[in-house]
A and B are shown apart, each in its own frame.
Chain A
């Protein structure tokens, strides 16, 4: 049983994700920033899409920094910042405000999803394995 669980865990971690072969397209998102959220707070694209982000700020100077891609946009009311990039890295990436905009600035967070969130699915599957494994692990 333990061996079966170990094999299952290895498969979950290392099996390559199926590529859902969607045609890369051009996507455009207008994101409104205010203290302390982005609207929309989450955007989703396919791997390989050419994505244009338009950051519109509605109150103060705000930024948008994308984890993993290292992109940084800065906008203020009256000045929309645009940036185009190719979403070549799959996964879920948080984006955060990069210009101090008040006390809760470090918690101004949104999410960019590129393709399915394989990390989350693998993690949930691993969680299932872990829950079962706990029953099986020999008592120390």
Chain B
């Protein structure tokens, strides 16, 4: 597998090693973030004319889902403004590294919570209220402000970026999908790290902070929890950190380290892409009003159906597919008599977790296809929002009177087909490879591939049909 270290290119390493370029982008993002909170509270309640809704759920979301995640994995995390204020307090410094440290209790994150279940839950929670949160500026403002408070609080109590690693709902899925990204941060020569006793990439030095993501950069094998913040690039005294360009989906090739919490994240993301495509982009007004009228019986029904689908029905159907796969695999020898009586048959749970990683590329492309629909249809709201961010009749840049008009409306369906078919191809190849990892025959991956195909066809029908 070929890797090409982008840090070799001229300008790349100096730009990344300097703290300024990253800080400037983060500061601009922070200003936008704070303005979005302000606009949400004091601006017009009409979502399509408020900076808060337009720039967060159309502008930033397009940037994230269509560019940042597919091409840069956790690239957004490296410039995200949410942890910034908390980190300034935690580090006691704004830019230059401060060995003495700042104000924080610096506690270790509890072991029981060292997984992404909290993020699974927080994403599902936001999803239940998304019809309101994504259309009401004041609710978006509350959600963003809540993230900010949580992040600051986490930084004051815990060490490093606890919010980012364990609480942020966005980080939950960015991490999952970063396994597909064509770039990675890795040690060039891990054996060199073995001889380096100080491990400044983790502990920090005068040149930078120890990994805020609580990862040991020298031992990184997957992108999932690396926030590409490149502190390690700054602190490694042996210049042993590379930013590699690599084939797509390289992390999926690794048979080890597959976990149930990540598997469920794949279901949550895939299921919510399907649910949103059905409810928000479909023709049924009753479903939309049900999703919006939080607190009513209709909404309770919607919430129950949504949760049952992503936590129950979808994984349940997949479990059946996996069980079928297990049946199809040839038995090389009789099963041992003494087996662990765990959840379900011994081995099915492991197969379930492993095979669910095939849903990661499917999920990413499903989200890309879904996002293309409403982004292309509504990106023209950005132009008036720049000139009149609060809906107060301003015209800062002369674009306030620009009418809404869908862009590339004829191209969108074709792009969606390319995304979904491409995703299915990728998922199918991944399923076959995972079957090999589990020592199943190639044929055994067919039920899982059939599941993926059914999902892909369902999404095609919802978006393009």
Contacts and interface: CB of A to CB of B under 8 A. Distances in A.
> A91, A93, A134: which has the most chain B beta carbons within 10 Å?
A134
A140 B1 contact: yes
Interface string B395-424: 000000000111001101110010011101
Interface of B: 1, 46-49, 131-132, 135-136, 247, 253, 280-286, 288-289, 292, 374, 377-378, 404-406, 409-410, 412-414, 417, 420-422, 424-433, 436, 442, 445-446, 449-450, 452-453, 456-457, 460-461, 464-465
Interface of A: 34-38, 41-42, 65, 67-68, 91-94, 96, 98, 100, 103-111, 117, 119-120, 122-124, 126-128, 130-135, 137, 139-140
Given A42-B283, A119-B417, A139-B436, A100 B46 contact: yes
A139 B428 CA distance: 12
A103 B47 contact: yes
Given A120-B464, A134-B431, A108 B449 contact: no
A65 B456 contact: no
Given A67-B410, A92-B465, A127-B420, A107 B425 contact: no
B136 A103 contact: yes
B460 A139 contact: no
A135 B432 contact: yes
> A41, A94, A137: which has the most chain B beta carbons within 10 Å?
A94
Contacts of A93: 409
Nearest to B427: A134
Contact of A68 (B378, B409, B425, B452): B409
Contacts of A100: 46, 48-49
B417 A96 contact: no
Would you call the interface of chain A mostly helix, strand, loop, or mixed?
mixed
Contacts of A94: 377, 409
B460 A124 contact: yes
Contacts of B284: 37, 41
B169 to A, nearest CB: 21
Given A67-B406, A127-B460, A135-B446, 16 more contacts: A36-B285, A68-B409, A93-B409, A100-B46, A100-B49, A103-B292, A104-B292, A107-B374, A109-B283, A110-B283, A124-B460, A128-B453, A131-B453, A134-B424, A134-B425, A134-B426
Q: 10 tightest A-B contacts by CB?
A: A134-B428, A37-B285, A41-B283, A67-B409, A130-B425, A103-B135, A134-B429, A123-B417, A131-B453, A36-B285
